Amino acid sequence: MKIENNGVNPLASKPANSAHPVEKNNRATESTSSAGSKDKAILSARARELSKARAALDEAPDVRSDKVQELKQQVDTGKYEINFEELARKLLNKLCLK
Protein backbone atom coordinates (compact mmCIF):
# COMPACT_ATOMS: atom_id res chain seq x y z
CA MET A 1 0.00 0.00 0.00
CA LYS A 2 1.36 3.37 -0.91
CA ILE A 3 0.43 6.49 1.05
CA GLU A 4 1.30 9.84 -0.41
CA ASN A 5 1.10 13.35 0.93
CA ASN A 6 -1.03 15.21 -1.60
CA GLY A 7 -0.40 18.58 0.03
CA VAL A 8 -3.90 18.87 1.46
CA ASN A 9 -3.88 20.18 5.00
CA PRO A 10 -6.74 18.68 7.03
CA LEU A 11 -6.86 21.73 9.29
CA ALA A 12 -8.25 24.93 7.84
CA SER A 13 -5.89 27.89 7.93
CA LYS A 14 -8.79 30.31 8.59
CA PRO A 15 -11.31 30.04 11.42
CA ALA A 16 -14.62 28.53 10.30
CA ASN A 17 -16.71 31.51 11.44
CA SER A 18 -14.97 33.82 8.94
CA ALA A 19 -16.35 31.82 5.98
CA HIS A 20 -19.40 32.98 4.07
CA PRO A 21 -22.70 31.20 4.81
CA VAL A 22 -22.78 29.71 1.30
CA GLU A 23 -19.35 28.16 1.82
CA LYS A 24 -20.47 26.68 5.12
CA ASN A 25 -23.43 25.03 3.40
CA ASN A 26 -21.18 23.58 0.67
CA ARG A 27 -18.81 22.22 3.27
CA ALA A 28 -21.64 20.54 5.15
CA THR A 29 -22.88 18.94 1.93
CA GLU A 30 -19.39 17.72 1.04
CA SER A 31 -18.80 16.16 4.44
CA THR A 32 -22.15 14.35 4.48
CA SER A 33 -21.75 13.03 0.95
CA SER A 34 -18.27 11.67 1.66
CA ALA A 35 -19.40 10.11 4.95
CA GLY A 36 -21.60 7.63 3.06
CA SER A 37 -18.77 6.36 0.84
CA LYS A 38 -16.78 3.25 1.73
CA ASP A 39 -13.04 3.20 2.21
CA LYS A 40 -11.03 0.77 0.16
CA ALA A 41 -7.43 -0.30 -0.02
CA ILE A 42 -5.68 -1.37 -3.19
CA LEU A 43 -2.60 -3.55 -2.92
CA SER A 44 0.15 -3.37 -5.47
CA ALA A 45 1.15 -6.44 -7.46
CA ARG A 46 4.34 -6.65 -5.37
CA ALA A 47 2.34 -6.64 -2.12
CA ARG A 48 0.12 -9.44 -3.43
CA GLU A 49 3.21 -11.49 -4.37
CA LEU A 50 4.72 -10.95 -0.93
CA SER A 51 1.46 -11.99 0.70
CA LYS A 52 1.38 -15.23 -1.33
CA ALA A 53 5.03 -15.93 -0.54
CA ARG A 54 4.43 -15.36 3.16
CA ALA A 55 1.44 -17.73 3.13
CA ALA A 56 3.52 -20.42 1.39
CA LEU A 57 6.32 -19.94 3.91
CA ASP A 58 3.90 -20.26 6.80
CA GLU A 59 2.62 -23.56 5.38
CA ALA A 60 6.11 -25.02 4.86
CA PRO A 61 7.39 -27.28 7.64
CA ASP A 62 10.16 -25.89 9.86
CA VAL A 63 12.11 -29.15 9.75
CA ARG A 64 13.23 -30.83 6.54
CA SER A 65 12.78 -34.39 7.72
CA ASP A 66 14.46 -35.88 4.63
CA LYS A 67 17.63 -33.89 5.34
CA VAL A 68 17.52 -34.84 9.03
CA GLN A 69 17.23 -38.55 8.15
CA GLU A 70 20.14 -38.28 5.73
CA LEU A 71 22.35 -36.62 8.34
CA LYS A 72 21.37 -39.16 11.01
CA GLN A 73 22.40 -42.01 8.70
CA GLN A 74 25.74 -40.35 8.01
CA VAL A 75 26.41 -39.87 11.73
CA ASP A 76 25.32 -43.43 12.58
CA THR A 77 27.56 -44.96 9.89
CA GLY A 78 30.50 -42.66 10.68
CA LYS A 79 30.46 -41.05 7.24
CA TYR A 80 29.53 -37.55 8.45
CA GLU A 81 32.50 -35.25 8.00
CA ILE A 82 32.85 -31.65 9.10
CA ASN A 83 34.56 -29.25 6.73
CA PHE A 84 36.42 -27.22 9.36
CA GLU A 85 37.66 -24.58 6.89
CA GLU A 86 34.12 -23.85 5.70
CA LEU A 87 32.84 -23.82 9.28
CA ALA A 88 35.57 -21.37 10.35
CA ARG A 89 34.87 -19.12 7.34
CA LYS A 90 31.14 -19.00 8.12
CA LEU A 91 31.77 -18.30 11.81
CA LEU A 92 34.19 -15.48 10.98
CA ASN A 93 31.74 -13.98 8.48
CA LYS A 94 29.00 -13.94 11.12
CA LEU A 95 31.28 -12.46 13.76
CA CYS A 96 32.64 -9.78 11.44
CA LEU A 97 29.21 -8.68 10.22
CA LYS A 98 27.96 -7.82 13.71
**47 belongs to a structural domain:** no
**32 belongs to a structural domain:** no
pLDDT at 74: 95
**92 belongs to a structural domain:** yes
3-class SS at 89? helix
Written as one string, the DSSP assignment of 13-81 is SS-GGGS-HHHHHHHHHHHHHHHTSPP-----HHHHHHHHHHHHHHHS-SS-HHHHHHHHHHHHHT---
Q: Which DSSP letter does residue 93 get? A: H
pLDDT at 87: 95
98 residues of the chain, pLDDT tens digit each = 566 666 655 555 555 555 555 555 445 444 555 556 788 888 898 988 999 999 988 888 788 889 999 999 999 999 999 999 999 999 999 998 76
For 79, the domain range is: 63-98
| Total count of domains within the chain | 1
**43 belongs to a structural domain:** no
pLDDT at 98: 62
* pTM score of the predicted model: 0.32
